[in-house]
Chain A
């Protein structure tokens, strides 16, 4: 059984390839990394290069059409797609075109008696559900669920596809050099929340992250509503799922949508001045206090004033 994997994010694509290779190996099949327009540098494993009259990358609707077209020649009962915003759009389009079930945000993926199964969080991550669909099916897989595929790059098969004309014209407004992968692979994350009074105060959170040898992240309001940090820093249900050894929440209340993204952390620490804040219920260690006092005190105690 062959497996196609796709993500516009190359790191995530490498993780999907591990997942795909695992599933394919059991049945003597192969996993192919779907590359659009051209093969990305540093690609691992087998690649399936899709070329069309029009550029595909960046247009989820066309990508869906191209993958659908490729599946006519490359029979692949399982398609793994990275759970990003683009990934969701590609998966949605492909599902309708090819009449496929989509399991979204699944972990512990398995093929079992002609079915693709996995587990996913539901109700903002409060519960886990076992989900499954008949083959062929698509699975959307969040970042960080698998180790990246590390085998050297293999042969490239090229497929010419015809797609419709693009319906949407697109313009890039801002691009970030940073990728969410920095957060996802991080062993230590210090995340800032709306407890911060001003954008400048991110500096002390950054200092704490530096002192602990980690990187900074944020709750959704900081990147979405306030725009203090890019989208790639936003942790939680609608952002990045992280799994560091140490997660420090600074001025974050701990709403379930945020907590959904940090459940897999080994140790969770919360700093919040409100003793009733729900974050303390999901933390290993909590400090009740004003972050503007506690963070500097921590820096002093760490010898990094």
Chain B
């Protein structure tokens, strides 16, 4: 299946005008790599936690993670082009996309708030793929309400001691760098904790409904000692950083969902033109046609919203609300489109993992990286005022 299609070229033209041709060439070529080296293994990854590592490596080599950054090895590409690239990765394999998306959220944090030496040492390793990152915010008793976290960072001389447990951490166990948010004297602070730091341990892989190719586990820190130069930005300002990092990440997670929806949609569309019942093709049934139209409209509006939020981000204006809207629309649409795809496949959809895995993958993203409810609070507070 060709991943980069006319719809992508048209979206690039609509959002980027003149510049679109160069971006199309770039994404089409990336799609070629994905078709050859990622998509064929996607069904296998569904049964192999951690199986995505070689696919992830290929995409590091291609330079995927360098796309949205404008120095230190970045390719200075518009964020929307990067988000469309992540859509293609999502269509090829969702867990690979999610793993890389979260990795790059950390790279973004280091790029924007890190010291010059962190940029040279950590950021450059992250975008080249020399090191893999993990974003460690969620705790067993604080998810959406992240400020209620209980992990603490205590300053002792020239280092911090971190104690606490993070859970549902993507890339845990494989990561070389953990971006850990902890409570400090001055509020909340973010640290780059080395994967091999004494006192840091990773729990067993947590079994999950979808996104099975990526690893998810607990990260425990027991008096884990971190040098003060590993503090990211200023002590006490971590939530400000995290909020901004997550806004970008939400567009990316939305785009990944557009990719997931597209993969399921294309399978269903193909099946509908093959399956015959009541002496007709499934695709000739009126209700199927209505369903197809809804799926298509859903996918296009999701992609448009992700690109719209990206364009606002590119201008430098505040885009937090649009990013939240994009993620709400794209993730909820993807769950619905994948559900519709299962419906079109009938019993085969319910029993064939290659059909239902898309729904299982998409299902995560109305929860992770900002649950839909929380995102609605953000949007509403922009409209009506009041706290998010």
**Chain A residue with Cβ nearest B355:** A276
B352: chain A residues at CB < 8 Å are: 275-276
B354: chain A residues at CB < 8 Å are: 276
CB distance from B39 to the nearest CB of A (A): 13
Give the distance in Å from the alpha carbon of A276 to the alpha carbon of B352 in the complex: 10
CB distance from A138 to the nearest CB of B (A): 36
A275: chain B residues at CB < 8 Å are: 352
**Chain A residue with Cβ nearest B352:** A275
1/0 contact string of A241-281 vs chain B (CB within 8 Å):
00000000000000000000000000000000001100000
1/0 contact string of B336-356 vs chain A (CB within 8 Å):
000000000000000010100
**Chain B residue with Cβ nearest A276:** B354
A276: chain B residues at CB < 8 Å are: 352, 354
Give the distance in Å from the alpha carbon of A275 to the alpha carbon of B352 in the complex: 9
Looking at chain A's contact residues, the main secondary structure is loop
Count residues of A near B (Cβ-Cβ below 8 Å).
2
Give the distance in Å from the alpha carbon of A276 to the alpha carbon of B354 in the complex: 9
CB distance from A221 to the nearest CB of B (A): 14
Give the distance in Å from the alpha carbon of A15 to the alpha carbon of B388 in the complex: 82
CB distance from B110 to the nearest CB of A (A): 42
CB distance from A275 to the nearest CB of B (A): 7
Give the distance in Å from the alpha carbon of A275 to the alpha carbon of B354 in the complex: 11
Give the distance in Å from the alpha carbon of A240 to the alpha carbon of B354 in the complex: 34
1/0 contact string of B312-353 vs chain A (CB within 8 Å):
000000000000000000000000000000000000000010
Give the distance in Å from the alpha carbon of A252 to the alpha carbon of B237 in the complex: 58
1/0 contact string of A80-112 vs chain B (CB within 8 Å):
000000000000000000000000000000000
Give the distance in Å from the alpha carbon of A276 to the alpha carbon of B345 in the complex: 13
CB distance from A282 to the nearest CB of B (A): 13
**Chain B residue with Cβ nearest A281:** B274
CB distance from A272 to the nearest CB of B (A): 14
CB distance from A4 to the nearest CB of B (A): 44
Give the distance in Å from the alpha carbon of A295 to the alpha carbon of B382 in the complex: 65
CB distance from A261 to the nearest CB of B (A): 23
Give the distance in Å from the alpha carbon of A276 to the alpha carbon of B266 in the complex: 14
CB distance from B40 to the nearest CB of A (A): 10
1/0 contact string of B346-383 vs chain A (CB within 8 Å):
00000010100000000000000000000000000000
CB distance from A281 to the nearest CB of B (A): 8
Give the distance in Å from the alpha carbon of A192 to the alpha carbon of B352 in the complex: 26
CB distance from A262 to the nearest CB of B (A): 21
CB distance from A271 to the nearest CB of B (A): 19
CB distance from B51 to the nearest CB of A (A): 18
Give the distance in Å from the alpha carbon of A275 to the alpha carbon of B345 in the complex: 14
CB distance from B268 to the nearest CB of A (A): 13
**Chain A residue with Cβ nearest B267:** A276
CB distance from A224 to the nearest CB of B (A): 18
Per the 8 Å Cβ criterion, residues 192-214 of A in contact with B are: none
**Chain B residue with Cβ nearest A275:** B352
1/0 contact string of A276-291 vs chain B (CB within 8 Å):
1000000000000000
CB distance from A303 to the nearest CB of B (A): 34
**Chain A residue with Cβ nearest B271:** A276
CB distance from B209 to the nearest CB of A (A): 22
Per the 8 Å Cβ criterion, residues 155-186 of A in contact with B are: none
**Chain A residue with Cβ nearest B348:** A275
Per the 8 Å Cβ criterion, residues 254-312 of B in contact with A are: none
**Chain A residue with Cβ nearest B274:** A281
Give the distance in Å from the alpha carbon of A180 to the alpha carbon of B349 in the complex: 43
CB distance from A28 to the nearest CB of B (A): 53
CB distance from B343 to the nearest CB of A (A): 18
Give the distance in Å from the alpha carbon of A275 to the alpha carbon of B353 in the complex: 12
CB distance from A293 to the nearest CB of B (A): 20
CB distance from B184 to the nearest CB of A (A): 53
CB distance from B9 to the nearest CB of A (A): 22
CB distance from A265 to the nearest CB of B (A): 22
Give the distance in Å from the alpha carbon of A51 to the alpha carbon of B2 in the complex: 53
Give the distance in Å from the alpha carbon of A275 to the alpha carbon of B351 in the complex: 12
CB distance from B194 to the nearest CB of A (A): 41
CB distance from B354 to the nearest CB of A (A): 7
Per the 8 Å Cβ criterion, residues 57-105 of B in contact with A are: none
CB distance from B355 to the nearest CB of A (A): 9
Give the distance in Å from the alpha carbon of A276 to the alpha carbon of B43 in the complex: 12
Give the distance in Å from the alpha carbon of A275 to the alpha carbon of B355 in the complex: 12
CB distance from B370 to the nearest CB of A (A): 35
The 3 closest A-B pairs by CB, nearest first: A276-B354, A275-B352, A276-B352
Binding site for A on B (CB under 8 A): 352, 354
Between-chain CB contacts (< 8 Å), 3 pairs: A275-B352, A276-B352, A276-B354
Binding site for B on A (CB under 8 A): 275-276
